[in-house]
Amino acid sequence: GENVEQHPSTLSVQEGDSAVIKCTYSDSASNYFPWYKQELGKRPQLIIDIRSNVGEKKDQRIAVTLNKTAKHFSLHITETQPEDSAVYFCAASRGGSYIPTFGRGTSLIVHP
Amino acid sequence: EPEVTQTPSHQVTQMGQEVILRCVPISNHLYFYWYRQILGQKVEFLVSFYNNEISEKSEIFDDQFSVERPDGSNFTLKIRSTKLEDSAMYFCASRPGQANEKLFFGSGTQLSVL
Protein backbone atom coordinates (compact mmCIF):
# COMPACT_ATOMS: atom_id res chain seq x y z
CA GLY A 1 0.00 0.00 0.00
CA GLU A 2 0.86 3.68 -0.04
CA ASN A 3 3.47 5.03 2.37
CA VAL A 4 3.82 8.75 2.99
CA GLU A 5 6.84 10.19 4.75
CA GLN A 6 6.82 13.77 6.01
CA HIS A 7 9.65 16.03 7.14
CA PRO A 8 10.46 17.78 9.34
CA SER A 9 8.45 16.70 12.36
CA THR A 10 8.91 20.12 13.92
CA LEU A 11 9.63 23.43 12.22
CA SER A 12 10.28 26.65 14.08
CA VAL A 13 10.44 29.94 12.17
CA GLN A 14 10.31 33.64 12.86
CA GLU A 15 7.27 35.62 11.79
CA GLY A 16 7.71 36.74 8.22
CA ASP A 17 9.98 33.87 7.24
CA SER A 18 9.02 31.14 4.80
CA ALA A 19 8.30 27.56 5.84
CA VAL A 20 8.64 24.46 3.71
CA ILE A 21 7.31 21.02 4.57
CA LYS A 22 8.24 18.06 2.40
CA CYS A 23 6.54 14.74 1.77
CA THR A 24 7.35 11.68 -0.28
CA TYR A 25 5.01 8.95 -1.39
CA SER A 26 5.59 5.43 -2.63
CA ASP A 27 2.63 4.55 -4.87
CA SER A 28 3.12 5.88 -8.38
CA ALA A 29 -0.64 5.49 -8.94
CA SER A 30 -1.41 8.18 -6.36
CA ASN A 31 -2.81 11.24 -8.07
CA TYR A 32 -4.37 13.41 -5.38
CA PHE A 33 -2.35 15.18 -2.68
CA PRO A 34 -4.19 17.19 -0.03
CA TRP A 35 -2.70 19.16 2.85
CA TYR A 36 -4.53 19.49 6.14
CA LYS A 37 -3.94 21.99 8.95
CA GLN A 38 -4.81 21.13 12.51
CA GLU A 39 -4.74 23.90 15.06
CA LEU A 40 -4.41 22.95 18.70
CA GLY A 41 -7.59 21.32 19.93
CA LYS A 42 -9.35 21.66 16.59
CA ARG A 43 -10.18 19.39 13.70
CA PRO A 44 -7.92 18.86 10.66
CA GLN A 45 -9.02 21.10 7.82
CA LEU A 46 -8.07 21.00 4.17
CA ILE A 47 -6.01 24.03 3.21
CA ILE A 48 -4.85 23.17 -0.29
CA ASP A 49 -4.66 20.19 -2.60
CA ILE A 50 -3.03 19.30 -5.88
CA ARG A 51 -3.65 16.70 -8.52
CA SER A 52 -1.00 14.88 -10.47
CA ASN A 53 -1.77 16.68 -13.71
CA VAL A 54 -0.30 19.94 -12.36
CA GLY A 55 3.07 20.76 -10.90
CA GLU A 56 2.21 23.71 -8.69
CA LYS A 57 -0.78 25.37 -7.12
CA LYS A 58 -0.98 28.60 -5.15
CA ASP A 59 -3.52 30.13 -2.83
CA GLN A 60 -2.41 33.44 -1.40
CA ARG A 61 0.51 32.71 0.95
CA ILE A 62 0.47 28.96 0.54
CA ALA A 63 1.61 26.90 -2.40
CA VAL A 64 2.11 23.24 -3.10
CA THR A 65 4.53 21.74 -5.59
CA LEU A 66 4.53 18.22 -6.95
CA ASN A 67 7.31 16.24 -8.60
CA LYS A 68 5.74 13.06 -9.93
CA THR A 69 9.01 11.62 -11.17
CA ALA A 70 10.62 11.88 -7.77
CA LYS A 71 7.33 11.16 -5.99
CA HIS A 72 7.56 14.10 -3.67
CA PHE A 73 5.44 17.12 -2.92
CA SER A 74 5.95 20.14 -0.72
CA LEU A 75 3.98 22.81 1.08
CA HIS A 76 5.35 26.34 1.02
CA ILE A 77 4.11 29.05 3.32
CA THR A 78 5.43 32.55 2.74
CA GLU A 79 5.34 35.52 5.13
CA THR A 80 4.44 33.28 8.02
CA GLN A 81 2.23 34.62 10.79
CA PRO A 82 1.68 33.37 14.35
CA GLU A 83 -1.74 32.08 13.34
CA ASP A 84 -0.01 29.70 10.92
CA SER A 85 1.21 27.78 13.97
CA ALA A 86 -0.39 24.34 13.75
CA VAL A 87 0.26 20.75 12.79
CA TYR A 88 0.28 20.23 9.03
CA PHE A 89 -0.44 16.84 7.48
CA CYS A 90 0.27 15.83 3.93
CA ALA A 91 -1.60 12.94 2.32
CA ALA A 92 -1.76 10.97 -0.90
CA SER A 93 -4.49 8.93 -2.50
CA ARG A 94 -5.00 7.13 -5.78
CA GLY A 95 -7.85 7.84 -8.13
CA GLY A 96 -10.97 5.85 -7.32
CA SER A 97 -9.77 5.08 -3.80
CA TYR A 98 -10.51 8.43 -2.14
CA ILE A 99 -8.78 7.10 0.95
CA PRO A 100 -5.85 9.38 1.70
CA THR A 101 -2.78 7.98 3.40
CA PHE A 102 -1.38 10.56 5.78
CA GLY A 103 2.08 11.59 6.77
CA ARG A 104 3.12 11.87 10.40
CA GLY A 105 2.53 15.59 10.58
CA THR A 106 4.74 18.65 11.01
CA SER A 107 4.35 20.93 13.97
CA LEU A 108 4.96 24.46 12.69
CA ILE A 109 5.74 27.10 15.28
CA VAL A 110 5.84 30.71 14.16
CA HIS A 111 7.48 33.00 16.69
CA PRO A 112 6.28 36.63 16.78
CA GLU B 1 -20.45 25.93 7.54
CA PRO B 2 -21.70 22.41 8.36
CA GLU B 3 -19.36 20.33 10.51
CA VAL B 4 -18.80 16.71 11.39
CA THR B 5 -19.48 16.28 15.08
CA GLN B 6 -18.02 13.63 17.34
CA THR B 7 -18.93 12.57 20.85
CA PRO B 8 -17.56 12.20 23.39
CA SER B 9 -14.46 14.37 23.07
CA HIS B 10 -12.71 12.20 25.67
CA GLN B 11 -13.42 8.62 26.67
CA VAL B 12 -11.66 6.70 29.42
CA THR B 13 -12.29 3.00 29.69
CA GLN B 14 -10.90 -0.10 31.31
CA MET B 15 -9.11 -2.70 29.25
CA GLY B 16 -11.56 -5.32 28.00
CA GLN B 17 -14.55 -2.98 28.02
CA GLU B 18 -16.59 -2.10 24.98
CA VAL B 19 -16.66 1.47 23.74
CA ILE B 20 -18.78 3.19 21.14
CA LEU B 21 -17.54 6.34 19.49
CA ARG B 22 -20.19 8.44 17.87
CA CYS B 23 -20.12 10.67 14.83
CA VAL B 24 -22.66 12.75 12.99
CA PRO B 25 -21.40 13.32 9.44
CA ILE B 26 -22.45 16.30 7.37
CA SER B 27 -26.02 15.64 6.31
CA ASN B 28 -25.71 15.39 2.54
CA HIS B 29 -22.43 13.48 2.55
CA LEU B 30 -22.35 9.94 1.24
CA TYR B 31 -18.97 8.55 2.29
CA PHE B 32 -17.84 8.08 5.87
CA TYR B 33 -14.50 7.23 7.40
CA TRP B 34 -12.78 6.45 10.65
CA TYR B 35 -9.12 7.27 11.15
CA ARG B 36 -7.03 7.07 14.30
CA GLN B 37 -3.85 8.70 15.50
CA ILE B 38 -1.75 7.18 18.24
CA LEU B 39 0.21 9.88 20.03
CA GLY B 40 3.23 10.90 17.98
CA GLN B 41 2.39 8.60 15.11
CA LYS B 42 0.70 8.88 11.74
CA VAL B 43 -2.97 9.36 11.13
CA GLU B 44 -4.03 5.83 10.13
CA PHE B 45 -6.99 4.76 8.05
CA LEU B 46 -9.35 2.30 9.71
CA VAL B 47 -12.46 1.95 7.56
CA SER B 48 -14.60 3.58 4.93
CA PHE B 49 -18.36 3.21 4.63
CA TYR B 50 -20.72 3.84 1.74
CA ASN B 51 -24.27 2.85 0.96
CA ASN B 52 -24.69 1.18 4.35
CA GLU B 53 -21.74 -1.11 4.03
CA ILE B 54 -18.00 -1.14 4.53
CA SER B 55 -16.28 -0.25 1.27
CA GLU B 56 -12.72 -0.67 2.46
CA LYS B 57 -10.87 -1.44 5.69
CA SER B 58 -7.30 -1.57 6.83
CA GLU B 59 -5.56 -4.43 8.59
CA ILE B 60 -5.97 -2.50 11.84
CA PHE B 61 -9.74 -2.92 11.54
CA ASP B 62 -9.96 -6.47 12.87
CA ASP B 63 -12.86 -8.38 14.38
CA GLN B 64 -12.76 -6.21 17.48
CA PHE B 65 -13.95 -3.24 15.45
CA SER B 66 -17.30 -2.64 13.84
CA VAL B 67 -19.10 0.30 12.31
CA GLU B 68 -22.75 1.06 12.02
CA ARG B 69 -25.05 3.69 10.64
CA PRO B 70 -28.07 2.97 12.81
CA ASP B 71 -30.18 5.81 11.45
CA GLY B 72 -29.95 8.54 8.88
CA SER B 73 -27.55 10.69 10.85
CA ASN B 74 -25.24 8.75 13.18
CA PHE B 75 -22.14 6.78 12.26
CA THR B 76 -20.58 4.77 15.07
CA LEU B 77 -17.35 2.92 15.70
CA LYS B 78 -17.49 0.11 18.24
CA ILE B 79 -14.50 -1.53 19.84
CA ARG B 80 -15.69 -4.72 21.51
CA SER B 81 -12.91 -5.47 23.95
CA THR B 82 -10.49 -2.60 24.24
CA LYS B 83 -6.77 -3.10 24.55
CA LEU B 84 -4.15 -0.71 25.87
CA GLU B 85 -2.88 -0.17 22.33
CA ASP B 86 -6.29 1.10 21.25
CA SER B 87 -5.55 4.32 23.10
CA ALA B 88 -5.54 7.00 20.41
CA MET B 89 -7.36 9.96 18.95
CA TYR B 90 -10.14 8.67 16.71
CA PHE B 91 -11.29 10.91 13.88
CA CYS B 92 -14.48 10.55 11.93
CA ALA B 93 -14.63 12.10 8.46
CA SER B 94 -17.15 12.42 5.69
CA ARG B 95 -17.03 13.25 2.00
CA PRO B 96 -19.78 14.64 -0.22
CA GLY B 97 -19.71 12.28 -3.18
CA GLN B 98 -17.88 10.46 -5.90
CA ALA B 99 -16.28 13.42 -7.63
CA ASN B 100 -15.30 15.31 -4.49
CA GLU B 101 -12.21 14.03 -2.72
CA LYS B 102 -12.19 16.56 0.11
CA LEU B 103 -12.57 15.00 3.54
CA PHE B 104 -14.30 16.89 6.32
CA PHE B 105 -13.04 15.81 9.73
CA GLY B 106 -14.62 15.83 13.12
CA SER B 107 -12.70 17.18 16.08
CA GLY B 108 -11.91 13.69 17.33
CA THR B 109 -12.47 11.47 20.36
CA GLN B 110 -9.48 10.89 22.58
CA LEU B 111 -9.76 7.30 23.81
CA SER B 112 -7.70 6.27 26.82
CA VAL B 113 -7.65 2.58 27.75
CA LEU B 114 -6.38 1.91 31.26
Express each pLDDT in B71-81 by its tens digit: 878 999 999 99
Q: Does B91 touch chain A (CB under 8 A)?
A: yes
Which residues, in sequence order, are CB contacts of A104 under 8 Å at separation 6+? A5, A6, A9, B41, B42
Among the partner residues A49, A97, A102, nearest to B43 by beta-carbon distance: A102
DSSP category for residue A102: E
Q: Which of A7, A23, A98 to mutate to test the interface with B (most CBs of B within 10 A)?
A: A98
Could you read off the pLDDT of B38-82 as tens digits, one per residue? 987 888 999 999 989 999 999 999 999 999 998 878 999 999 999
Q: Which residues of A touch B89 (CB under 8 A)?
A: none
Cβ contact A100:A3 at 8 Å: no
pLDDT above 90 covers a percentage of chain A that reads: 85
Could you read off the pLDDT of A2-32 as tens digits, one per residue? 899 999 999 999 999 999 999 999 999 999 9
What pLDDT, on the 0 to 100 scale, is given for residue A67?
A: 95
Among the partner residues A4, A46, A102, nearest to B102 by beta-carbon distance: A46
pLDDT above 70 covers a percentage of chain A that reads: 100
In this model, does residue A78 exceed pLDDT 80? yes
Please tell me which residue of chain A has the smallest CA distance to B103.
A46
Q: Give the torsion sign (CA, B14, B15, B19, B23).
A: positive
Judged by CB atoms closer than 8 Å, whether chains meet at A43 and B103 is answered as no
Judged by CB atoms closer than 8 Å, whether chains meet at B103 and A97 is answered as no
User: Per-residue confidence at A68, pLDDT binned at 50, 70, 90?
Assistant: very high
